[in-house]
Chains A and B, each alone.
Chain A
Amino acid sequence: EPEVTQTPSHQVTQMGQEVILRCVPISNHLYFYWYRQILGQKVEFLVSFYNNEISEKSEIFDDRFSVERPDGSNFTLKIRSTKLEDSAMYFCASRGTSGSAPEQFFGPGTRLTVL
C-alpha cells in the first residue's frame, strides 16, 4: 500500500541553524501539506501546496519557513534561523485529486529538536 515517507526521523540542530525536512508523498497525489505537533499539544496546520505554489499558510509559517518540490517526488520544508520554539514533530501529508477523496495521508513525522 502506498505511503508517505519522511526523512530524517529525528533531527537535532543548534539554534540559528537551517534545517531541511524531507518528504516523499504518495506518487499520484497533487496536494501536499506540512503540519507540526509541539510535544503535548494539538496538531497544527502550517502550509498547503498545490501546482508548485503555496495555496494556504498559517500564521506559524513566517518568513523563516519555505517549502519546495524540487523534483517529481520530494517535498521539502526548510526552516532558516531555527528557534527553540521550532522544536516539534513535523508531519508531511498528501492528498489525491479526486473530490470524493478529501482525506489526507500522513507520514511518520520528523522530530526536530533545536538546542
Chain B
Amino acid sequence: AQSVTQLDSQVPVFEEAPVELRCNYSSSVSVYLFWYVQYPNQGLQLLLKYLSGSTLVESINGFEAEFNKSQTSFHLRKPSVHISDTAEYFCAVRRGGATNKLIFGTGTLLAVQP
C-alpha cells in the first residue's frame, strides 16, 4: 500500500531564510508525486509535480522539489521565503496505471515570521 509521510507538522522560519519541507513516500511501483499548497481559508492548489524525466522540478514562485528514488523522498525547498508563503503544504502520491486516487500526507504548516 502506498503512504506519504510528512514528518514536520509545523515549520517556523524567518522571512528571507531558506526552508525545506520533507516528504517521504512508500510504494513498490512507479509513482507520480505532487506538492499542493493550501492558503488560509482556501482550497488546494497544485504547486509542482514530478511525473518522469528530470528529478528536479520547479514552480513559478521559487519552490523546487527533488525526486530521490533511492531515498523515496520528494522534499520541497525554497532558498528565500516570503510572508506570503505562509500556508499548509501537502505532499501527495499517485500510483501510475489504473489507480486514480491521490494519497496525501498530513501536511506541514509553513509559518513565515518577519
Contact = CB atoms under 8 A, between A and B. Distances in A.
Interface in A85-104: 91, 95, 100, 102-104
Main secondary structure of the interface of A (DSSP, over half): strand
Interface string B8-51: 00000000000000000000000010101000001111100101
Nearest to B9: A40
A85 B51 CA distance: 35
Contacts of A35: 102, 104
B100 A31 contact: yes
Nearest to A107: B43
A106 B104 contact: no
How large, as a class, is the contact surface on chain B? 20 to 34
Interface stretch (A11-19, A41-49, A74-82): A41-49
Interface string B82-114: 000000001010100001111111110000000
Nearest to A111: B41
A44 B104 contact: yes
Interface of A: 6, 31, 33, 35, 41-45, 48, 50, 55-56, 58, 91, 95, 100, 102-109
Contacts of A108: 42-43
A103 B103 contact: no
B104 A55 contact: no
Contact of A106 (B36, B101, B105): B36
B104 A43 contact: yes
